[in-house]
Every structure is written in structure tokens, then in C-alpha cells.
Amino acid sequence: MPPHDQRAALVKGWNRAADGWARQQLAFDRAAAPVASRLVDLAELEPGMKVLELASGLGDTGLVAAAKVGPNGSVVLSDAAPKMLERLRDRTKGAGNIEVKELFAEGLRFDTAAVDAVLCRWGYMLLLDPHAALQETRRVLAPGGRVSLAAWTVHTDNPWTGATLQALADRGLQGDPTRPGPHMFAWADPATIVEALDGAGFFDARVEQVDMTFDFGSFDDWWDARLDLSPDFAARIAEISPEERDELTEELEREVEPWRQADGSLRFPGRTNVAVAEV
Ligand SMILES: C[S@@+](CC[C@H](N)C(=O)[O-])C[C@H]1O[C@@H](n2cnc3c(N)ncnc32)[C@H](O)[C@@H]1O
């Protein structure tokens, strides 16, 4: 497991982000639904199967899986951030085949070969030790079991967050999107994903891409969503002066112009890798 103080800092950030994720949940779920659905398809879930979702956040993907495995199956939705899990419990109340569990992906408190599939949407590339997490994933999967995961492609494919990153990086408000991980674009290259899966002992790793669309009613809605969804970004913005913030938003207003619609709303494309591999 990564050192305790690093894990604690990470959990603190995600705990702070839980209310924001809850505010954005409907819109994010709508935009990202094709990815949840593809991850569940790639895992080849069948009624009665046991599924574990890692870094589940508010559980969009695990909920699709729960419908697929049905009342005789089970899904454990897990995350390292207790506040995220509180929100998740509100959302899953009454679902008989769902359990919510606090888990670090790098150290799973699960029996060996206990589940048929592991799902992880936009989690592994953020982890302090993705290799440990993949090894743990393989350990808890039964023979023939599958892991399916999503990891964003390059920032230029994802202007809803990525195209603006240079302005933020220039001000030291966010790291350069091409730096080494962990961060949201660290697994943009499919070869990195295949290497990570092969390195953890999985077989038949393959990667494809899924496109999606992110809609925001206005620049302000988009800005609020950035603050809500990214704990790092919100922390940096809280540190700058009102003047610096005004200067930044003016620059970003210009940068997002290519995605502005006639009614003033913003429509951004998004793209992610999705991968699957077997034990
Ligand atoms: C980008 S969000 C993705 C949430 C969700 N999977 C989705 O697609 O909507 C990343 C999630 O990973 C969780 N997380 C971060 N580090 C983790 C770790 N080491 N183990 C488990 N969860 C972790 C965070 O708390 C957060 O909920």
C-alpha cells in the first residue's frame, strides 16, 4: 500500500469533492453512460455473477452492473473516500443485490478468487500504485474472470477539461497534462494500459475508444462543474486572488469559444479508452 500520509491527502481531496460530485451526478451520468454500458458489456456479465467496482465514486457503472446480474447476483461498490460512500449509500438504499464498502484499490480486503468481474471507470490511472491495484484485482478475480476499466485518452480529445489545462498549467493551477502519472490523462496511450495489464499477469488485454458529449448550459455552469468535479482544481482556485481568477476566467471564456453553441451553451466532445482483460 502507498504511504499513509499520501493516501490520507488523497482521501481528503475526494471527501471534499463528494458534495460537488453529487451536484453534478445527473449530468455526468448522462454524458458518461455509454462508457458504463460498454464496461459492463466487455465484462460479459450474466445473471447471478459477483461483481466488484473499484473507485466507484457515485457508482454509475456498478448500478448498471447490478441490473445486469439481477437479484441472484451481487455487486460491491467500493471507494476509498468515506464521504463519496455516504452519497453512494443514499443512492443505493433499498437495492437488495448491492453492498457499499470502503476499500483502497491497492489493498483489497477480499478473499482470493471471490468475484467474477471487476469494473473500474476512471480510477486506476489516478492511483498512487496502479500496479499494486491491478495485482490485487487479479488476485480477487476467479479463474476466467474479467477486469474492465476506463482511462481518458489525451487531453486534446477532452476539451471539456483538457483544452483549458494549458491556461491552468501556465499559472501553476494544474499540472501539465502530459507529465508522468498519477493523473487523469496518465493512461491516455493504449500501450500503457496493455503494459499495465500484462505486467499484472492478465491475459488478452485489449483497448478500444468510446466517444461522448458533455453539455453545459453556459460558461458559468461549465466553470461550476470543473470546481465540483476536480478536487485539485477547486483547491488551486481557492488559493488565487479575485483579480487572478477574473483574468483566468476571461482567458478560458476565449478558449472554450470553439465549443459554444448558438444559444450560448457549451457542447464539448470527450473520449476515453476502455479496456478488458482476463485472468
Ligand atoms: C474520477 S473519480 C471516478 C468515479 C467513478 N468511477 C465514475 O466513473 O464516475 C475517482 C474516484 O476514485 C476514488 N479513489 C481515489 N483513490 C482511490 C484509491 N486508492 N482506492 C479506491 N478509490 C480511490 C475517489 O474517491 C473517486 O471517487
Domain membership flag for residue 256: no
Domain membership flag for residue 40: yes
The answer to whether 85 and 79 have CB atoms below 8 angstroms apart is: yes
pLDDT, position 166:
76
Inter-axis angle of helices 4-42 and 60-69, nearest 10: 40
Q: Is 55 in the pocket of ligand 1 (CB under 6 A)?
A: yes
Residue from 122, 232, 274 to probe ligand 1 pocket by mutation (most atoms less than 8 Å from CB): 122
Residue whose C-alpha is closest to residue 33's, from 22, 25, 23, 21: 25
pLDDT, position 7:
87
User: How close is the Cα of 249 to the center of ligand 1, in Å?
Assistant: 28
User: How close is the Cα of 220 to the center of ligand 1, in Å?
Assistant: 25
Domain membership flag for residue 241: no
Neighbours of 265 (CB within 10 A): 15
Host H or E run for residue 125: none
User: How close is the Cα of 231 to the center of ligand 1, in Å?
Assistant: 12
Residue nearest to atom 11 of ligand 1 (CA): 55
Q: Is 79 in the pocket of ligand 1 (CB under 6 A)?
A: yes
Domain membership flag for residue 8: yes
CA distances from 47 to 74, 98, 255 (A): 9, 14, 47
Among all chains, which residue has been given the C-alpha cell 460498454? 38
pLDDT, position 207:
98
Domain residues for the domain of 101 are: 4-154+180-214+272-278
The answer to whether 15 and 84 have CB atoms below 8 angstroms apart is: yes
Q: Is 163 in the pocket of ligand 1 (CB under 6 A)?
A: no
Neighbours of 143 (CB within 10 A): 7
Q: Is 157 in the pocket of ligand 1 (CB under 6 A)?
A: no
User: How close is the Cα of 251 to the center of ligand 1, in Å?
Assistant: 30
For the chain, what is the domain count? Answer: 1
Residue nearest to atom 16 of ligand 1 (CA): 127
Q: Is 127 in the pocket of ligand 1 (CB under 6 A)?
A: yes
pLDDT, position 72:
97
Domain membership flag for residue 47: yes
Q: Is the pTM of this model over 0.85?
A: yes
Determine whether 258 is exposed, middle or buried from the number of CB atoms within 10 Å of its CB (0-12, 13-18, 19+).
exposed
Amino acid letter at 31? A
CATH (domain of 11): 3.40.50.150
Atom of ligand 1 nearest to the CA of 184: 1
Query: DSSP secondary structure string, 21-44?
Result: HHHHHHHHHHHHHHHHHHHHHHTT
Domain membership flag for residue 19: yes
Domain membership flag for residue 240: no
Determine whether 200 is exposed, middle or buried from the number of CB atoms within 10 Å of its CB (0-12, 13-18, 19+).
buried
Q: What is the DSSP letter of 258?
A: G
CA distance 139 to 112: 5
The answer to whether 65 and 40 have CB atoms below 8 angstroms apart is: yes
Strand order across the 74-79 sheet: 98-102, 74-79, 50-53, 115-121, 141-152, 266-278, 203-216
Q: Is 81 in the pocket of ligand 1 (CB under 6 A)?
A: yes
Strand partners, 68: none
Cell of 89: 449509500
Per-residue pLDDT of the chain (279 residues; tens, 9 = 90+): 778 888 899 899 999 999 999 999 999 999 999 999 999 999 999 999 999 999 999 999 999 999 999 999 999 999 999 999 999 999 999 889 999 999 999 999 999 999 999 999 999 999 999 999 999 999 999 999 999 999 999 999 999 987 777 788 888 877 888 888 999 999 999 999 999 999 999 999 999 999 999 999 999 999 999 999 988 888 888 989 999 999 999 999 999 999 999 999 999 999 999 999 999
Domain membership flag for residue 227: no
Distance of CA 124 to the CA centre of its chain: 8
Residue nearest to atom 9 of ligand 1 (CA): 57
